[in-house]
Amino acid sequence: MKKGIINSENICYINHNGVEYIQFKNLKKYDNAITHCFTTRKGGVSSGECESLNLGFSRKDSRDNVMENFKRVAKAISVDCRNMVFANQVHDNKIKEVGEGDRGKGITEESDIIGYDGLVTNQREVALVTFYADCVPVFFYDPEKNVIAVSHSGWRGTVKKISAQTVNKMQNAYGCRAENIEAAIGPSIGRCCFEVGEEVYREFVDKMGWSDKFCKKTGTSKWHIDLQEIIKKTLTECGVREENICMCNICTRCNRDVFFSHRGDHGKTGSMAAIIQLR
């Protein structure tokens, strides 16, 4: 996993008036149709453990600070905060179809979207938003059907194949074809830092036998697991072309100067966001 963030063959690291964020080159090909980003911890007004671009309302931060941070990000990627829709994220694999009537849920009004870790839409100016501090953000875009989605894939969601569930939802709800979907797997805790016990390792290999090759034993009872590679394999298994999957290979814990990290910051941290919207 990479330490030190630079422009690479897969990502662009952008600074817009001090707001720093990542975009994925396979999705940037469609800038005329979509806008998207994965935020960093840089460019906001928050202080303390949430310094500075915290986007989590449930963190130790004021609502005014978080709203100002959202406004800065929204301006940078040409999105209206009032168009944002939040997933509440329960580490499951359910995907919610949303539309115009859902705009503002979670940010400007109370949300009734409960129990979902992924969002999908084919409606313009509906900005899908999910939150992170080590879990894996996965972006989706079908340029043929003009459908977007984003899913929050923690280790539990990864075991439950939330990425495959997202592809299935795009197919069943909007007639997408897996081979047309572009996917981007964003910064998250890498195998270098994601150390777990035997019980978590067993969850993976019992449900996804092939995942063993992405797990490395350390010591007598600990394992390091590569969530990003497991998600990539999950996507190709359900028909997404490997050449359509953008891998950033960036570890959030290794790059705590750039990203919030739940493990790296010992739980005292802020939240980043994955945002995608049809123009």
In a domain, 144, yes or no: yes
DSSP notation for 104-161? TBTTTB-----S-SEEEE-STT-EEEEEESSSEEEEEEETTTTEEEEEEE-HHHHHTT
Cβ atoms within 10 Å of 16's Cβ, excluding its own: 14
In a domain, 3, yes or no: no
Cβ atoms 187, 248 nearer than 8 A = yes
Give the pTM: 0.97
In a domain, 121, yes or no: yes
**Per the structure, how many domains does the chain have?**
1
pLDDT band at 65 (very low <50, low <70, confident <90, very high): very high
In a domain, 103, yes or no: yes
Question: What is the structure's pLDDT at 219?
Answer: 82
Question: What is the structure's pLDDT at 114?
Answer: 96
Instruction: Compute the distance between CA of residue 29 and CA of residue 265 in angstroms, rounded to an integer.
Output: 35
Instruction: Compute the distance between CA of residue 132 and CA of residue 127 in angstroms, rounded to an integer.
Output: 16
Q: What CATH number corresponds to the domain at position 32? A: 3.60.140.10
pLDDT band at 2 (very low <50, low <70, confident <90, very high): low
Backbone angles phi, psi at 80, to 5 degrees: -95, 125
Residue 237 has pLDDT above 90, yes or no: yes
In a domain, 22, yes or no: yes
Residue pointed to by tokens 């990479």: 2
Q: What is the mean pLDDT of residues 25-50?
A: 98
Q: Could you list the residue range(s) of the whole structural domain that residue 236 is in?
A: 11-278
DSSP letter for 49, please: G
Distances from the Cα of 99 to the Cαs of 84, 91, 119, 168, in angstroms? 10, 23, 10, 18
Q: What is the mean pLDDT of residues 239-263?
A: 96
For the segment 179-211, what is each residue's pLDDT rounded down to a tens digit?
999 999 999 999 999 999 999 999 999 999 999
Question: What is the structure's pLDDT at 256?
Answer: 95
For the segment 99-147, what is each residue's pLDDT rounded down to a tens digit?
999 999 999 999 999 999 999 999 999 999 999 999 999 999 999 999 9
Secondary structure (3-state) at 74 = helix
The CA-CA-CA angle for residues 48, 138, 199, to 5°, reads: 80
Q: What is the mean pLDDT of residues 63-89?
A: 97
Spatial CA neighbour of 258 closest among 15, 66, 62: 15
Cβ atoms 84, 104 nearer than 8 A = yes
Question: What is the structure's pLDDT at 98?
Answer: 98
Strand residue runs (E) in 167-267: 182-185, 195-197, 215-218, 222-225, 245-247
Q: What is the mean pLDDT of residues 218-232?
A: 95
Distance of CA 195 to the CA centre of its chain: 20
Question: What is the structure's pLDDT at 6?
Answer: 53
In a domain, 81, yes or no: yes
219-245 residues labelled b (16+ CB within 10 A) or e (exposed): eeeebbbbbbbbbbbbbeebebeeebb
In a domain, 4, yes or no: no
Secondary structure (3-state) at 172 = helix
In a domain, 139, yes or no: yes
For the segment 92-105, what is each residue's pLDDT rounded down to a tens digit?
999 999 999 999 99
Question: What is the structure's pLDDT at 9?
Answer: 80
The CA-CA-CA angle for residues 108, 15, 1, to 5°, reads: 100
DSSP letter for 250, please: B
